[in-house]
Structure 1
Amino acid sequence: MSVYRNGIPADSLEGVKWVKSRHSGATGNCVELAALPDGDVAMRNSRDPHGPALIYTRAEIAAFVLGASDGEFSSLTT
């Protein structure tokens, strides 16, 4: 099993499928996520697809998505 570390170059994660929100704009104002073979989730900036990827557990991503769904981060976008 591979070990992925935060800051790994995103383009070194070969064979993963990057996904971004359909709410993302055409100007690159989005992040992309990819499921990793070990069950973790990678996140990268869509404007820098070769740059660093941050690695999170599925539980961490689930907590973030639930918080975003509940509006916990809305103050950061106003």
Structure 2
Amino acid sequence: MTAIYNGMPGDSVTELVWRKSQRSGPSGNCVEVAKLPDGGVAVRNSRHSNGPALVFTKAEIEAFLGGVHDGEFDNLV
């Protein structure tokens, strides 16, 4: 597998399976995520799939998703 790191081109690791929310619209307002072999998650902008991807450890993504579930970021929308 190609090296996985923050800022990697989002389409550089062909083994990753990118997913986006069913709530995403047809106008390209999509964030895509891919599970990494170590349990982490990569995130990219679907409009720029070859642009940089952010890589988060399993602990980082669990902390973030816990905050989302708890409503900590509701003021952002």
Q: Is the 8 A contact 1:2 1:38 kept in 2?
A: no
Q: Percent identity?
A: 56
Partner of 2:53: 53
Unaligned runs of 5+ in 2: none
Unaligned runs of 5+ in 1: none
Task: Give the CA RMSD over aligned residues.
Answer: 1.6
State the SS of the aligned residue for 1:47. Answer: helix
Instruction: Provide the TM-score with structure 1 as the length reference.
Output: 0.85
Q: Is the 8 A contact 1:41 1:56 kept in 2?
A: yes
Ranges of 4+ aligned residues in structure 1 off by more than 6 Å = none
Aligned-partner residue type, residue 75 of structure 2:
S
> What are the Cα deviations for residues 44-64 of structure 1, in whole angstroms up to 9, with x where unaligned?
011111100000011111111
State the SS of the aligned residue for 2:47. Answer: coil
Q: CA deviation at 1:2?
A: 6.0
